[in-house]
Amino acid sequence: MSILSLENVSKTYRGPDGEIAALHDFSLAISAGEFVAVRGPSGCGKSTLLLMAGGLLSPDRGVISLDGEDLYAMSSESRAHYRSMKIGFVFQQFHLVPYLSVLDNILVAAVQKPASTKNGVLETAQQLIERFGLSARAHHVPSQLSTGERQRTALARALLNRPSLILADEPTGNLDRENADTVLEDLAAFAEDGGAVLLVTHDPVASERADKQVELDPKKQDAH
């Protein structure tokens, strides 16, 4: 069974100049252990795809399933909880809370976990801090970190709940090559351990690290 499945998904935006089809009858399935990169020019629907796959933007048509559950058949509250447990997000701009330490930024991912399931969360966060070489920075705020350290903090946050899927939006866009390679290695390792990764990127080096590359055609909004 696929971890993430998009079946004949379409999304159209309506504006003052008419309708714009962001995606049209798009289908994609990602199984456990797969690292998939999506590439394409601006306006081809990459961001729309990522938002819909993450349960943040409902499609006009089609079905999006995560671990066999139809994301948009859920209530918004149930979907938010399911998303927080099943999906890890990694962004180009990191989206760290500026006044929280590295440790607390990572623990933010556990906010929606029931109290009864939070045993071991702190220990897991500390293990991730050590794994990503952030031990000396655990109590520093983002402004005291390098860009590479910020992205490693964001990746640790994404992994805290042991998600099934990581959605990565240009995660190497603000990094030098060395730090970018480190992030890509960590994403590949997550897939090798049985997770699924969907990476949206303009970086050809980043996409080449994936097991599968998908090119979005801005005219057909189709995968090749």
Domains and their CATH numbers in the chain? 34-43+75-215 (3.40.50.300)
pLDDT of residue 125: 93
pLDDT of residue 110: 85
> What residues contact 191, with CB distance under 8 A and at least 6 apart?
33, 34, 35, 197, 211
Written as tens digits, the pLDDT of the chain (224 aa) is: 789 999 999 999 887 777 778 888 999 999 999 999 998 777 788 889 999 999 999 999 999 999 999 999 999 999 998 998 899 999 888 899 999 999 999 999 887 665 545 568 889 999 999 999 999 999 999 999 998 999 999 999 999 989 999 999 988 888 888 888 888 999 999 999 999 999 998 888 888 999 999 988 655 544 44
Is 148:176 a contact under the CB 8 Å cutoff?
yes
Is 10:21 a contact under the CB 8 Å cutoff?
yes
- Residue 93 token pair: 């701009």
At residue 212, φ and ψ (nearest 5 deg) are -145, 140
Query: Which among 180, 216, 224 is positioned nearest to 23, based on CA atoms?
Result: 216
pLDDT of residue 224: 40
- Residue 144 token pair: 């005291």
pLDDT of residue 9: 95
- Residue 162 token pair: 């042991």
Give, in order, the Cα–Cα distances in Å from 204 to each of 179, 200, 207, 215: 16, 11, 5, 12
pLDDT of residue 100: 95
